[in-house]
Amino acid sequence: MISAIILAAGESKRMGQPKMLMPWGNVNVLQHVVSVFQKAGVEDIVVVLGAERERIERIVSQYPIRCVHNEDYAVSEMLSSIQCGLKALKLQTQAALIGLGDQPQVQEESVRLICEAYQNTRSELVVPSFQMRRGHPWLVERTLWSELLDMRAPESPRDFLNRHSDKIHYVDANTATILADLDTPEDYYSAHS
pLDDT digits 0-9 by tens, 56-101: 999 888 899 999 999 998 888 899 999 999 999 999 999 999 999 9
Q: Which whole-number Å values give the CA distances from 61 to 47, 57, 67, 90, 113, in the listed order?
A: 11, 6, 9, 19, 28
- What pLDDT is recorded for position 132? 84
What CA–CA distance (Å, rounded) separates 95 from 89? 10
What CA–CA distance (Å, rounded) separates 107 from 127? 14
Asked whether residue 11 carries a pLDDT value surpassing 90, the answer given is no
pLDDT digits (tens, 9 = 90+) for 80-91: 999 999 999 999
- What pLDDT is recorded for position 95? 98
pLDDT digits (tens, 9 = 90+) for 166-176: 999 999 988 88
- What pLDDT is recorded for position 191? 87
What CA–CA distance (Å, rounded) separates 127 from 166? 12
How crowded is residue 62: how many other Cβ atoms within 10 Å of its Cβ? 9
Mean pLDDT of the chain: 94
- What pLDDT is recorded for position 193? 59
Q: Which whole-number Å values give the CA distances from 96 to 19, 44, 102, in the listed order?
A: 24, 10, 18
- What pLDDT is recorded for position 141? 98
φ, ψ at 9 (rounded to 5°): -100, -10
Asked whether residue 192 carries a pLDDT value surpassing 80, the answer given is no
Domain 2-192 has CATH 3.90.550.10: yes
Instruction: Kindly state the DSSP code that residue 154 receives in the 8-state scheme.
Output: T
- What pLDDT is recorded for position 159? 96
Domain definitions of the chain by residue range: 2-192
Q: For the chain, how big is the Rg over CA atoms in Å?
A: 15
Q: How far is Cα of residue 104 from the mean position of the Cα atoms in its chain?
A: 11
How crowded is residue 119: how many other Cβ atoms within 10 Å of its Cβ? 12
Which of 11-25, 33-47, 72-86, 177-191 holds the top average pLDDT?
A: 33-47
pLDDT digits (tens, 9 = 90+) for 109-139: 999 999 999 999 999 999 999 988 999 999 9
